[in-house]
C-alpha cells in the first residue's frame, strides 16, 4: 500500500489509541512518520512496536515553547512536512462545580492553544500541497453531561479547521477536522472522574451509538489516511465525523 508514499507525516499524541494506530497505518501506506508524547517509555514502546524508522519525540502538547522546539527538530531532520495530524488531547470530564481555573487552562492549552501554535511553528516546513488534520470530537455536537470544557475545546478546534483553511488554502495547505465518536481506546480510562461516575458515563456513552457498538482505532486511522492522502485533495475546511451515527441519527 502506497497511498502516502514519499510523504512526511507528524502525529501528535501518537503513543496509544487512535494516534498510535494512525501512525501505524501511515507507515504501512509508505509515509515517513514522527509521533509525539509526554511519556518516554510509551514513546519507546510505540517506536519498537511500529518500526519503519518511526521518529518518537517527547513533547508537551500544551506548551507553546515545546511546539516551537518540535518544529525545529523536524526541520533539522526532514526536508518538508506533508501531513500533520494534531491528535494529542486532554479528555478530562468533570461536573461544572468541579472545574477550577488550573484544570481548565491545562485542558485548553493541550486541546486548542497547542495545535494553533504548532501549525504556526510548522508553517515554514509545511509543503505545498500539505494536509493538516485536527482531531475534533462528536462531543462538540451533543450535550453530554460533564463534557463541558472538553466539548468546548473541540468545538474551537473544529472552528480552526474552517478558519485556517481559508487563511492557508492559497499556500496549498488543506485543514480539515476528523471527529471520532465513542471509540474503544485507553482514553476512556482517563476521563478524570471518580470510579463510579466513570463507569456510569462509559455506559451512557455506549448507549449513544446508533450503530450499536463503539468505534475502533483502526476505523479512525483509516479515515485519517484518507484525509492525509491525495485522494482527499478536494476536501478543504470541513469535518469528517466517524461516530457511528451519534451526531447524525
Query: Which cell goes with 32?
Result: 515517513
Q: Which of 150, 179, 225, 241 is catalytic?
A: 150
Q: Is residue 85 annotated as part of the catalytic site, yes or no?
A: no
* Enclosing H/E stretch for 160: helix 148-168
Maximum Cα–Cα distance across the chain? 50
Query: Which cell goes with 237?
Result: 475546511
In sequence order, the β-bridge partners of residue 134 are 86, 177
202 Cα distance to chain centroid:
21
CA distance 55 to 9: 10
3-state DSSP assignment of residue 224: helix
CA distance 20 to 34: 11
Q: How many CB atoms lie within 10 A of CB 79?
A: 8
CA distance 205 to 181: 9
State the number of CA atoms in the 13 A half-sphere of 154 facing the CB.
28
**In whole angstroms, how far apart are CA 11 and each of 37, 199, 204, 206?**
9, 30, 30, 27
Residues marked as catalytic: 150
Amino acid at each position: 500500500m502506497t497511498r502516502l508514499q514519499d510523504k512526511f507525516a507528524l502525529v501528535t499524541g501518537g503513543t496509544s489509541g487512535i494516534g498510535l494506530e494512525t501512525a501505524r497505518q501511515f507507515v504501512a501506506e509508505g509515509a515517513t512518520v514522527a509521533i509525539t508524547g509526554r511519556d518516554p517509555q510509551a514513546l519507546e514502546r510505540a517506536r519498537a512496536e511500529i518500526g519503519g524508522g518511526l521518529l518518537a519525540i517527547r513533547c508537551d502538547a500544551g506548551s507553546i515553547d515545546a511546539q516551537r522546539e518540535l518544529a525545529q527538530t523536524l526541520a533539522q531532520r526532514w526536508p518538508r512536512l506533508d501531513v500533520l495530524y494534531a491528535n494529542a488531547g486532554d479528555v478530562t470530564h468533570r461536573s461544572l462545580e468541579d472545574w477550577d481555573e488550573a484544570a481548565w487552562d491545562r485542558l485548553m492549552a493541550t486541546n486548542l492553544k497547542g495545535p494553533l501554535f504548532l501549525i504556526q511553528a510548522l508553517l515554514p516546513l509545511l509543503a505545498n500541497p500539505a494536509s493538516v488534520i485536527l482531531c475534533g470530537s462528536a462531543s462538540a455536537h451533543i450535550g453530554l453531561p460533564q463534557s463541558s470544557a472538553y466539548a468546548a475545546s473541540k468545538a474551537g478546534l473544529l472552528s480552526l479547521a474552517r478558519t485556517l483553511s481559508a487563511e492557508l488554502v492559497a499556500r496549498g495547505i488543506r485543514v480539515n477536522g476528523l471527529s471520532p465518536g465513542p471509540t474503544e481506546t485507553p482514553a476512556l480510562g482517563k476521563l478524570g472522574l471518580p470510579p463510579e461516575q466513570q463507569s456510569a458515563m462509559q455506559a451512557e456513552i455506549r448507549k449513544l451509538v446508533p450503530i450499536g457498538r463503539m468505534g475502533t482505532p483502526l476505523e479512525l486511522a483509516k479515515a485519517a489516511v484518507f484525509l492525509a492522502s491525495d485522494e482527499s485533495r478536494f476536501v478543504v475546511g470541513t469535518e469528517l465525523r466517524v461516530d457511528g451515527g451519534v451526531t447524525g441519527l
